Copies of this chain bind each other. A is one copy, B any other.
Amino acid sequence: MKYFELLEPHDIEAIHNNVLRILNEVGIAFDYQPALDIFKKAGCKIENKTVYFEKLMVEELRAAAPSEFTLYGRTDEHNVVFNTDALVMIPCYGSPFISDLDKGRREGTRLDFQNFIKLTQSSSVLDMASTVPCEMSDIPIEKRTPEYIQTVLTLCEKPLVVSKDARTMRAAFEQCQILYGSKQDLIERPRFISITDSFSPLGYDETMLKMLIYCAENGIPQRIGGLGLCGLTTPVTWAGNLSQMMAEALAGLVLTQLIQPGAPVVLNNSSSCADMRTLGLAVGAPESAINCIGTAQLAKFYGLPCRSGGAISDSKTVDAQAGAESMMNLLTSAMTGTNYILHACGILEAYMVASFEKFILDEENCGIVKHIRKGIPVTENTLAFDAIQDIGPMGGAFITHPHTFKQYRSLYNPSLFDRSAYLKWEEKGSEDISVVANRIWKKRIKEFVEPDLPEGMKTELKSYVEQGKVDR
């Protein structure tokens, strides 16, 4: 397999030199004294809160981060390997609203949250779980974090994405200890990864820095970097955006490596453009795909896994725009080789909404792009010369040939998309595919079987939440 590329080697060199120059001459602001102390100790030049990086240091510490690491699930079949060829699908994260065809757009509840986790666990294409697929707006805000973690650890066996702040990370780390053993066990077999955001342009705020330091000290892998709004928080040109975003990601990576050399990092750049008429984020724009391609190329140059892409759309409803934009972003991820695909299912409205029907649509989309990535096996058997000779020129049919019987299961089998003839489709009620998706997610929830977990662990998780242990 060879990835789609837009940048020539000399372009990558030019962007990388620009990254180093930005880090060295413009610097990155770190709005948290303990972080500045770490850089000071490492001998960096600091003015006010801005750190200036020596090129050699950046190069050395970038090389210290591993090119491959594993996140562990409850059982080994759920383990996920991150490297520069991985294609890890993770559902929607952190949308303030949810929607479904029955009750429309609204704030999410405990029930909605549980349902998203059930869909994640029962998904054949999702590799990991989000710990905030939506908010539980029906429980007090300070109680949410530990219950989110408890819910996901109880209902789902896949590795997790956790974020928000150091308190949340601690909640996840401590709750994972209930299931998976000591701190040392978790450091050796990490169960979750962060979303450590830069604050564009060229900064990190206190909340993120506290979290970054907590993660680095506790062996928690981090996805580091930001979402630049090209034209607002980054330059409007992609060479400029990529330069700035990689400078931000590498600055975070350097801090991580100063704390713990070899700490696992996924470089992040989930930029897109601002719509210049409204200044709103436009994630369904082709710029989103262009960003994904450039980010993948730079991350491969750095030898590090990266995050970009996702089934993201600006549409307000599960319509043809939602389908096209999400497929554009997902397929670009697959064809250009980004590795940590967050928001791979469910997003509408540029991250504002997690939709149940969109979740099912995107599962199909994820299945499709994963199938394409399986490639074209070329063997004597697949070349099928004998079958072609058996059937011969004109008029024969392969459908009854043994070669077809032996191989047809390698074809993709859709779980949502309709391939029936028009009359059949009309007979079934001329349904828009979102209506079919609505039936599918409700059936999946109804038939969900909770994975086994010893009662003792369940009780301990519950007590961790109820007793507010994270705030002790």
Contact = CB atoms under 8 A, between A and B. Distances in A.
Nearest to A423: B316
A235 B432 contact: no
Given A327-B323, A331-B328, A396-B201, A236 B5 contact: no
Interface string A312-325: 00111111111111
Interface in A181-240: 199, 201-203, 230-240
Interface in A3-35: 3-7, 10-11, 14-15, 18, 21-22, 25-29, 31
A141 interface: no
A301 interface: no
Interface stretch (A71-79, A86-94, A171-179, A413-421): A413-421
Given A282-B419, A321-B418, A372-B289, A382 B239 contact: yes
A315 B436 CA distance: 13
Interface string A282-326: 101111011001100000000000000000001111111111111
Contacts of A381: 237
Interface string A352-381: 110000100100110011011001111101
B385 A231 contact: no
A266 interface: no
A407 interface: yes
A2 B416 CA distance: 33
Copies of this chain present: 2
Nearest to A328: B327
A236 B404 contact: yes
Q: Which of A294, A398, A433 has the most CB of B within 10 A?
A: A398
Interface of A: 1-7, 10-11, 14-15, 18, 21-22, 25-29, 31, 49-50, 105, 199, 201-203, 230-240, 242-244, 273-276, 278-280, 282, 284-287, 289-290, 293-294, 314-328, 331-332, 335-336, 349-350, 352-353, 358, 361, 364-365, 368-369, 371-372, 375-379, 381-385, 387-389, 391-399, 403-404, 407-408, 410-412, 414, 416-422, 425-426, 430, 432-434, 437
